[in-house]
Chain A
Amino acid sequence: MLNKKIGKQTIKFLEAPKIISANAIVGPKEGEGPLAQHFDTILDDDLFGLKSWEKAESKMIEETVKAAASKIKLSIKDIDYFFAGDLLNQLMSSTFAARDLQIPYIGLFGACSTLTESLSLSAMMIDGGYGDYAVAATSSHFSTAERQFRFPLELGNQRPLTSQWTVTGAGAAILSNKGKGPSIAYATIGKVIDFGIFDANNMGAAMAPAAVDTIKTHFSDTGLSPSDYDLIITGDLGVIGMDIAKDLLMKEGINVSHNFSDCGVKIFDHEKQDTHAGGSGCGCSAVVFCGYLYTELIEKKIKNLLLVSTGALLSPTSIQQGESIPSIAHAVAIRSS
Chain B
Amino acid sequence: MKKNQPSQSDYEKFIEDKIPKPNYLKNCTWAFIVGGLICTIGQFIHNRIEAALNLSHLDATNATILIMIFIGASLTGIGVYDLIGKRAGAGSIVPITGFANSIVAPAMEFKREGYVFGIAARMFVLAGPVLVYGITSSVVVGILYYFLKIR
Contact = CB atoms under 8 A, between A and B. Distances in A.
A14 interface: no
| Contact-residue size bin, chain A (C-beta under 8 Å from the other chain) | 20 to 34
Interface in A149-165: 151-162
A231 interface: no
A162 B20 contact: yes
Contacts of A160: 22
Contact of B105 (A51, A155, A159, A247): A155
In the complex, which of the residues A194, A195, A244 has the most CB atoms of chain B within 10 Å of its own CB atom?
A: A195
B20 A194 contact: no
- Main SS at interface, chain B: helix
A156 B101 contact: yes
Interface string B69-87: 0000000100101111110
Nearest to B30: A158
A159 B93 CA distance: 14
Interface string B97-122: 01001101110111010000000000
A147 B19 CA distance: 25
Given A195-B5, A195-B8, A205-B19, A156 B109 contact: no
Contact of A240 (B6, B18, B110): B18
B102 A155 contact: yes
| Most chain B beta-carbon neighbours within 10 Å: one of A51, A52, A158, A247 | A158
B131 interface: no
A243 B110 CA distance: 37
A158 B24 CA distance: 13
A52 B111 CA distance: 10
A209 interface: yes
Given A195-B5, A195-B6, A195-B8, A153 B82 contact: yes
B139 interface: no
B86 A156 contact: yes
B11 interface: yes
B149 interface: no
A20 interface: no
A247 B11 CA distance: 12
A195 B11 contact: yes
Contact of A154 (B8, B21, B98, B109): B109
Nearest to B107: A152
Interface string A156-198: 1111111000000000000000000000000000000111110
Q: Could you say which of B8, B15, B84 has the most chain A C-beta atoms within 10 Å of its C-beta?
A: B15
Contacts of B33: none
Interface in B43-101: 76, 79, 81-86, 88-89, 92-93, 98, 101
Given A158-B27, A240-B19, A244-B14, 18 more contacts: A151-B105, A152-B105, A154-B76, A154-B82, A155-B105, A156-B83, A156-B88, A156-B93, A156-B105, A157-B85, A157-B93, A158-B86, A160-B22, A194-B5, A196-B8, A197-B12, A205-B15, A243-B18
Interface of B: 1-2, 5-6, 8, 11-12, 14-15, 18-22, 27, 76, 79, 81-86, 88-89, 92-93, 98, 101-102, 104-106, 108-110, 112, 126
6 contacts: A51-B112, A52-B112, A196-B1, A197-B11, A209-B5, A240-B15
